[in-house]
Amino acid sequence: MLPSDVATATVHLGPYLDDLGRPWSGRVTVTSSSPRVWDLTGAVLSPRPAVVELDEHGTAALRLATTDQPGFSDGAGNAVRGWTYTVTLDLDGTPAVGRTFALPGDGPAEVQLVLPVAVPDRPAPAPELADPPAAGPADAGPTDAPPVPPDEHRPRSSGPIRDLMTRRAAFRAGAVALTTAAAVAAAQQSAAAGTRNPANGPRTAAGLAPMAQVLDDDVTIGSTTNPSTLLVKSSAAGGSNGGPGIFDSTGRLVLETYQPHFNHYGESIRVELKDARAKGMLTYRAAWPTPHYPDGDYTWIAGHPTAPQSVAWLGAHFLNNDDPSSLAKNLQHGHIGFEVPDATGSLRTRLEIKFIDPLTGKIGTDKTAIRTNMADFEVQVSERGEQARLVGSDNHNRDLVWATRVGNAREPRWALRAAAGQANFELCRYQAGNVYLDSPFGVDRGTGLVTVGGGRGTAAGLKVVRNGGVAVTVTPLEPGGQGVQVTGTDTTARAYQCDVAGDALRRFVTLVDGTLQWGTGAADRDTQLYRRAPNQVGTDGGIFLRSSSTPETAATGGVLFVADGALKYRGSAGTVTTLAAA
């Protein structure tokens, strides 16, 4: 293990494959040219041959100290700089090949060392079988030109390849997949120069190529008549097989930009939809073998898929694929959307953002619609206190609306509203045609007062239905507190009223002035008790007193009662006086 403060670069070799694409087994030996001591820790680095086996992909990675950094000495105070490394590749069944090079600190941190395979002497391959030659002169001599394979077997050109392209080469104006064979051929072509590559700047050594290179030209892959696929390879070595924390084996497209937005100049990836029905989708494909999901992965597939299946789409399209002349169907599209499969395997849009007017279908809308489809919208709440929020200035209503129309066509039925101004809470109801009726329920944000029936009194009020027990409970929490208050516009306003199911009229009514009225429920109320004058209670009829025993003596005043049919009075002295005989 090198000391942590030593500057290093990683040298990659391979992959080395046979003609069938299978990884080659072998080993790499690296040796430095001189011993040295890292002065900060006293660690001694000696040029002992270090052997690294090629992995299951036919590759090897060597983390080596850069060869021109300060801090190394010979142990006697003399600086050691400018040593070299010799790397030897020994593939099974082939002669060993090697290369000596320096690893300067101003070079890239990831480099590819290209070591062509040394092929042992072997008989020349038999000529390819070809169709019989056409009739011609019998003395036609041999030709030095190699036979031309038929068109269907002729290898396709991969486009222009610059010197020293490697299997992980990337470029900022796009990307191109380069095979190992192309990398080796390009490296051999320029190995003799060993100086500079105009496209890549300084070289560290012949055959030692930076892992990332720059192409100054546009690159086209395939053609309209012969479309091709760009494949950026990855490796399982850093994934589940080797553990996620081993090293990064992911293939990537990295797009850099410093460009502010101006005339679309800030676009890093541009997908051009060449047909109004075309889709440009970013697709995720996956396969989950046993035993991860013992009961099967996808409901539309029996068992476990062995090949990747499309499980998610992200992209945009415009017109309906099946009937692009139908406005009604087109209004369902014209969006960028997220799609996942349903139970039949069909990809369904679950979240979409419209780039068309959702009423006319025309591209461009001042206020877009963001919709879900075949989906529940959930906000996962944890100890961090996540919220679903409607935000905005108190100068505007903030509404959560239940409506029947889409887009900008307003057809609300109900709205939960934080009203403009004081942001009082309201439940609003509407008639068809976006006609506001009233807010039958409201809460004053400042006082907490709850209003039922609407500020204009046009709502029906409050109905409480209770199956057993108490329907309404009011509990004042302070001495002299108030329970229920009724304010009428005149003395005939009713503070309380009740009846029996089936009654034609209210059987009992309390007016706001305290008058109590009774009736049978079938006719007008005919009995009442009211305030007649100061300190007097009056009634328009008689008062019935049920016969009772003699009451206790009152401390002040007296008690009027009926005993054995006689009307009697008992004063505060305890004397009982008969006012009327039975």
pLDDT of residue 421: 94
pLDDT at residue 117, rounded to an integer: 79
**pLDDT of the residue at 477:** 94
pTM of the predicted structure, to 2 decimals: 0.57
**Mean pLDDT, the chain, integer:** 81
In the predicted structure, residue 534 carries a pLDDT above the cut 60: yes
- What is the pairing mode between strands 8-13 and 110-113? parallel
- Give buried/exposed letters for 12-44 (b at 16+ CB in 10 A, else e): bbbbbbeeeeebbebebebbbeeebbbeeeeee
**CA 67 to CA 81: how far, in whole Å?**
6
**What is the model's pLDDT at position 142?**
40
Give mean pLDDT, residues 56-61: 92
Amino acid at 238: G
**How far is C-alpha 522 from the geometric centre of its chain's CA atoms?**
66
Confidence at 406, pLDDT banded by 50, 70, 90: confident
Average pLDDT over residues 97-112: 90
Looking at the predicted structure, is the pLDDT value of residue 126 above 70?
no
Q: Which of 150-164, 304-318, 405-419 has the lowest mean pLDDT?
A: 150-164
d(CA 114, CA 234): 19
Tell me the Ramachandran region of residue 471: left when phi exceeds 0, alpha when psi lies from -120 to 50, beta otherwise: alpha
